[in-house]
Amino acid sequence: MKLNINQDLCSGCRLCENTCAFYHKGLTSPNYSRITICHIGKWALPNITVCLHCKEPECVDACPTGAMYKDLNTETILVKEDLCIGCGLCVDACKFEAVIIHPETQVAFKCDTCNGNFSCSQKCDAKAIYLV
């Protein structure tokens, strides 16, 4: 299964962000969410930013240490935090802007599908985030 998004359906409620943060840290803070909702444009339309786990991930190719890798069983792009040096090459390589260097840990930070639970899609009442 793979995450997909429909920007047109997003209400901007940010429930996906809170769900993600709670799954990983037990907190409802966007600082710990691996999915981001930002409001862009004159009318502040919500925009979902999340890793789409590309078939040919440029972030993986850019990583000099092998910290960013593709799990061949799940086809999920993951980060081995202990190998990440925080260089940001993966951030620059991601054309979807779905990877950041986390300000607290100084390592690559992105969607990990909640270990296959896809928490954000389960909580998205608008169905803007869904599985294919």
CATH numbers and ranges of domains, the chain: 1-50+115-126 (no CATH), 53-110 (3.30.70.20)
DSSP lists the bridge partners of residue 37 as 48
Q: Say if residue 45's pLDDT is above 90.
A: no
Report pLDDT digits (tens) over 52-74. 999 999 999 999 999 999 999 99
- Cβ of 123: how many Cβ atoms within 10 Å? 17
In a 10 Å sphere around its CB, with 0-12 CB exposed, 13-18 middle and 19+ buried, how is residue 21 labelled?
Answer: buried
> Please, what is the average pLDDT of the chain?
94
Single pTM value for the model: 0.90
> Count H helices, E strands: the chain?
4, 8
